[in-house]
Structure formats: C-alpha cells, structure tokens
C-alpha cells in the first residue's frame, strides 16, 4: 500500500498536476488538504475517471480535505470529534478495504496559527489537543492507522533551513512542537523519521523570496503511523520534483510504503 499526503493549495488550480500525479505515481491512497472549494466544485468526475473513490469535506475559498482511494471506502468520519471547528473543514477519516485487510486513514489540515499573539494560535493549540484525544482513541482500536496531512508544525531544528529565522513563528514555537510530540508519545511514529535522521528534507517552500531556488524549505507535512502501520513501513519518499513543475503548489507530496 502506497499512501501519500499533499497540500494541493486549491484543487481546481492544481487539477492538471493532480491528475498527472495520480497517473504517474498511482498511490493507493492520497490525502489532500487545502482544497479551497465546496463539494459541488470538486473535480469528482475527473478524479473518479482516473480510478479513485473520493470522500471530501469541502469549504468555499478556504481549507478543505479529501481522501482519494483506489480501494473501497468502507466507512468515513467528517470532522474532528468533540471539536468546535467553527465551520472550518480540516479533518476527514476513512477505513480503506484492500487485499491485505483494512487501513484507517485521516487527512488533516491543522491551523497555521499565525500571528502567534492572537486567538489564531489558541485555535491551533485547541485543534491539536482535540486531535491528540481522538488519536489516543484510535489507538485503542489496534488497527493500522495513518494520520496524514499538513500539520503546520516544524517538529525539529533539522526540519527547517534556518531555525533562528522561524523561532517566533507559530509553526516552530515550543508549544507547537510539544503538541506534535504528544502525538508521538501516544505511540505514533513519524514515518520519515522512522527511516532517516537526515536534515534538509522539506515538504514546503514559500512562493516568495526565491525560497524554492535557494532551498529554504520546511517540513510540515507528516504521516504518523500507529504501531500496526509502523510495523509494515517499508519506505518513505518526498516527491520534491513536484515543486519545480508548472504552477506548483507550495507543498509537495510525501509517500509511505506499507507492506
């Protein structure tokens, strides 16, 4: 099973690269974030014609998450339990049926939280607290589970080109990083860090100031694996070349290969 996550940054603007990505890499499951459209505007026909089942939680202009699957989707959950998301579409979960059994997958678009001295940061931390509660509940199911998405958190200094430049940013503040570690402390594994300790592995480059050309990136897109999924992990790949394509998203996809 190849599971990928990608913040598409407007699915309608990125439809051509999305369809190319599905054709060229053929993920079993693709989690999308920042759709920036309501369900009625999602290019469902094109995605289904590419061979994928679709569930989504859309929102006009902002946010929005989806799960695309080659395999049957047996059940789904819209929204993060016990969280007042104020109409923000940031969480969707599904159970995917495949030859090897079943896999539970969530597509997550966590709040950015900037500016950090505003209620936006409180909202970010509240979302992470609710996600941690639900993630703990999912572990009790003892299933292979992948919590995939744009967490808007830089976990460690090795995950950012210049830690000092991001020291006061909501993505890198100690409380944000601590919130991410709480998920790991529950028993989830950061898929990338399960296979490598290398620095400079990024999933996001800003559109401004030549960030891509200068490789001034950050790693904020993550695949967190339950113990049952981590036991099946065979490899992880960041598809860095996507950032050099025509009209790219500022994020690139990251894959986890599960046996």
Are 230 and 211 a contacting pair, CB within 8 Å? no
Q: Which tens digit of pLDDT belongs to each residue from 148-168?
A: 999 999 999 999 999 999 999
pLDDT tens by residue, 186-213: 999 999 999 999 999 999 999 998 999 9
Q: Which fold has domain 2-258?
A: Deoxyribonuclease I; Chain A (3.60.10)
The per-residue pLDDT for range 61-115, each reduced to its tens digit, is 999 999 999 999 999 999 999 887 678 999 999 999 888 789 999 999 999 999 9
Three-class secondary structure of residue 83 per DSSP: coil
Spatial separation of the C-alpha atoms in residues 60 and 35, rounded to whole Å: 9
CB atoms within 10 A of CB 108: 25
User: Considering the entire predicted model, what is its pTM?
Assistant: 0.97
Question: Which pLDDT belongs to residue 204?
Answer: 98
Task: Report pLDDT for 85.
Answer: 63
Q: Where are the domains of the chain?
A: 2-258
In whole angstroms, give the CA distance from residue 161 to residue 165: 9
Over residues 8-63, the pLDDT tens digits come to 999 999 999 999 999 999 999 999 999 999 999 999 999 999 999 999 999 999 99
Can you give the pLDDT at residue 100? 72
Interior angle at CA 166, CA 209 and CA 160, nearest 5: 80
Residue 174 pLDDT > 70 = yes
Complete edge-to-edge strand list for the sheet that includes strand 65-69: 53-57, 65-69, 29-33, 2-7, 254-258, 233-238
Angstrom distance (rounded) from CA 168 to CA 174? 9
Whole-number pLDDT of residue 87: 82
Burial grade of 172 (CB within 10 A; 0-12, 13-18, 19 or more): buried
Q: Are 97 and 115 in contact (CB under 8 A)?
A: no
């Amino acid at each position: 099973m190849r599971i990928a996550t990608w913040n598409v940054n407007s699915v309608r603007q990125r439809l051509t690269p999305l369809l190319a990505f599905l054709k060229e890499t053929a993920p079993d499951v693709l989690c999308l974030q920042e759709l920036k459209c309501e369900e009625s505007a999602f290019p469902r026909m094109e995605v289904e014609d590419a061979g994928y089942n679709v569930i989504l939680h859309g929102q006009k202009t902002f946010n929005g998450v989806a799960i695309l699957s080659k395999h049957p989707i047996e059940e789904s959950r819209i929204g993060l339990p016990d969280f007042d998301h104020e109409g923000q579409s940031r969480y969707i979960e599904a159970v995917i049926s495949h030859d090897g059994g079943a896999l539970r997958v969530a597509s997550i678009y966590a709040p950015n939280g900037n500016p950090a001295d505003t209620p936006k940061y409180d909202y970010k931390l509240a979302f992470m607290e609710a996600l941690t509660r639900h993630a703990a509940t999912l572990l009790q199911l003892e299933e292979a589970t992948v919590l995939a998405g744009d967490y808007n958190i830089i976990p460690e200094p090795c995950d950012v080109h210049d830690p000092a430049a991001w020291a006061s940013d909501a993505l890198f503040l100690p409380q944000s990083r601590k919130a991410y570690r709480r998920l790991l402390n529950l028993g989830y594994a950061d898929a990338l860090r399960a296979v490598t300790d290398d620095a400079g592995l990024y999933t996001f480059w800003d559109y401004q100031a030549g960030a891509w050309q200068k490789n001034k990136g950050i790693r904020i897109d993550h695949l967190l694996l339950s113990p049952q999924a981590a036991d099946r992990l065979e490899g992880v790949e960041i598809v860095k070349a996507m950032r050099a394509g025509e009209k790219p998203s500022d994020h690139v996809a990251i894959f986890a290969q599960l046996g």
